[in-house]
Amino acid sequence: MRISNVSFYHKHLPMLCSSFTCSLEPGVSSADVVIVKVETDEGLVGYGEVGAVGGYPNYAPGLVASSAELVRRHLLHKDPCDLNDIQHTMSLIDGHGSIKAAFDIACWDIFGKSIGKSVSALMGGRLREEVPIYRGLPLKKPADMAKEADAWRSDGYQYLLMKVGSGNLAEDVECIEAVLENRQPGEHITVDASGRWRVDEALYVLKAVEHLDFVLEQPCWQYEECASVRARTNRAMKLDNSITDVGKVLRAQADKACELMTLKIDKLGGLSQGRIARDITSAAGIAVTMEAQWATEITTAAVVHLALSTAPNRLLASTDLHTYSSLSTSKGEAIRVENGMMSMVDNNLPGLGVEVDEDALGEASVVIQA
């Protein structure tokens, strides 16, 4: 079996969660994804997807152009089920994790379909039937954030991730206090600064709220700055933006720079690298949040399968990415979200278990043919 055609679709995602701040792009109300359709000479088709939010080549037009060039020159005609060969080829191309991720996910989709197995089965088998999910609280005034947190609590969510880094440290402290005021037994709260604090600012906030129970996520932008904060506090820390490849996972583990990590499979380079990162963190006793950077059902399904095959005592939570936007790429319901938990509607469907709606994809931006 050989890859015969690869199509790239640039899709716009209107966000349903008011606004989102990503790196240099504060308060955006929409995001983009690039969806990859890989076709084979035996008629099997696989789909992958990557979020495109901020920073070339993660801007969608740059992502499409770079992806097309990479596929045309190095991946066309390969066997999509020979994942080791594909990973080896992509490893010789520096960077471009997002570009590689969608293609890798599509190959796993084809591999599963070719042998009638789900991606979670290919990952070694499910260790649970559903995974807990968290809800993100975007930056708002303290009272508004507290109100939104209470609303999600009433819907059964025990994992909340609140954004801080408003530019006003006193208000950041107020937001943390407001959300944690009604903290429930068994609830896990993460305070995510998304790298917006300096080291001194992070230490200032931590001192002000040292009596409260939460995990601190990515206080500063640079890895070394986050490690400096972690070394000066007893607060458990989660790294997110700093974890961009397996090498960063190994470094953070060796440095004891964090107790938790966010593994974004699109930033890491897909399911293949995501599984390696997951196995390293599992062996090191580091709990993970499994997710990606904006997506439809395609990437969410990939995240679910990897999460289902992760040891329950190593998985903190995942996220229902597809529910953050009104755009759907699935025919019917492929993923169930209920009472703060997420699962595939049918865990035994081959590949990703998503029947992609070609009408929703529309016309391809780029098509590469053998």
Residue 217 phi, psi dihedral angles, 5° rounding: -115, 130
- What average pLDDT does range 135-150 have in this prediction? 94
Angstrom distance (rounded) from CA 201 to CA 225: 11
Instruction: Identify which has the larger pLDDT, 65 or 253.
Output: 253
pTM: 0.94
User: In this predicted model, what pLDDT tens digit does every residue of 13-22 receive, in sequence order?
Assistant: 887 766 665 5
pLDDT of amino acid 229: 98
User: In this predicted model, what pLDDT tens digit does every residue of 60-96 receive, in sequence order?
Assistant: 888 888 888 888 999 999 999 999 999 999 888 776 6
Instruction: Identify which has the larger pLDDT, 244 or 46.
Output: 46
Please identify every residue annotated as catalytic. 163, 264
Give the strand pairing for 260-264 and 287-291: parallel
- Please, what are the domains in the chain? 3-116+355-369 (3.30.390.10), 122-344 (3.20.20.120)
Among 280, 228, 270, 223, smallest CA distance to 250 is for 280
Angstrom distance (rounded) from CA 224 to CA 201: 15
Residue 200, judged by CB atoms within 10 A of its CB (0-12, 13-18, 19+), counts as exposed
pLDDT of amino acid 14: 82
pLDDT of amino acid 141: 95
pLDDT of amino acid 346: 96
With beta carbons less than 8 A apart as the criterion, state whether 4 and 39 touch. Answer: yes
pLDDT of amino acid 97: 66
pLDDT higher than 80, residue 109: yes
Residue 42, judged by CB atoms within 10 A of its CB (0-12, 13-18, 19+), counts as exposed
Total Cβ atoms within 10 A of residue 70: 17
Give the strand pairing for 260-264 and 131-132: unpaired
User: In this predicted model, what pLDDT tens digit does every residue of 195-215 receive, in sequence order?
Assistant: 999 999 999 999 999 999 999
Give the strand pairing for 25-28 and 131-132: unpaired
pLDDT of amino acid 95: 67
pLDDT of amino acid 54: 62
